Chain A
């Protein structure tokens, strides 16, 4: 059973579209995250949620909106997609901010 699962694995879309990425964890962790990995492989945190409450919102355009319906799910919605949004987006979860477990990633390509 996959501990942290995210869908879709690949997302190819046109500029200006709105898209969502879903993430679920079955580890019973209390904190979930979204990380962005750019073409240079740099992993940068975007959001952190603890028990459905937003903890971190790094300098991310407000076109990105996380939604956590319960502590096992953290979805990412992106409005008005831009070329620069192309990257791999990783969901992750942890207990107390340690030992992050990552999902398999969503490769987003904006054309």
Chain B
């Protein structure tokens, strides 16, 4: 089955700086790579996703890049703000028509220092 590794487990950045979280996956059949943000006590919520036929996608201050050959993808947050503080999860899926659901990384606790 799929295995997703995520780094770092904790990331502390100054407000206004950029944050980068990296993930690798193992199943070359995976073709869908979403990122979820989970605030304390709340549900994970999708913030951005990318499919394997695209190398990069951007939505305002967040962007995701995908290197299918190397099987890694990254989340980039620019001009970080206090409300960006949360746990971020990468995930991989889409093989077998999505029947296997998503396999999640272990999460990155992003701390924005004022």
The answer to whether A and B assemble together is: yes
Of A33, A45, A50, A97, most buried by chain B (CB within 10 Å of CB) is: A97
B97-114 Cβ-contact flags toward A at 8 Å (1 or 0) = 111111110110100000
Q: Which residue of A lies closest to B32 (CB)?
A: A98
**A14-22, A66-74, A76-84, A101-109 - interface stretch:** A101-109
Residues from chain B with a CB closer than 8 A to the CB of A45 are 101-103
A43-84 contacts to B (CB < 8 Å): 43-45, 48, 50, 55-56
Q: Is the CB of A43 within 8 A of B89?
A: yes
B75-114 Cβ-contact flags toward A at 8 Å (1 or 0) = 0000000000001010001100111111110110100000
For the complex, what is the distance from the CA of A40 to the CA of B106, rounded to whole Å?
8
Q: Is the CB of B43 within 8 A of A105?
A: yes
Q: Is the CB of B107 within 8 A of A42?
A: yes
Q: Is the CB of B100 within 8 A of A48?
A: yes
Q: Which residue of A lies closest to B44 (CB)?
A: A102
For the complex, what is the distance from the CA of A105 to the CA of B102, rounded to whole Å?
17
Q: Is the CB of B102 within 8 A of A100?
A: yes
Give chain A's interface residues, CB within 8 Å of chain B.
Answer: 31, 33, 40-45, 48, 50, 55-56, 90, 94, 96-105
Give chain B's interface residues, CB within 8 Å of chain A.
Answer: 32, 34, 36, 38, 42-46, 49, 87, 89, 93-94, 97-104, 106-107, 109
Which 5 A-B residue pairings sit nearest by Cβ, starting from the closest? A97-B98, A102-B43, A43-B104, A96-B98, A41-B107
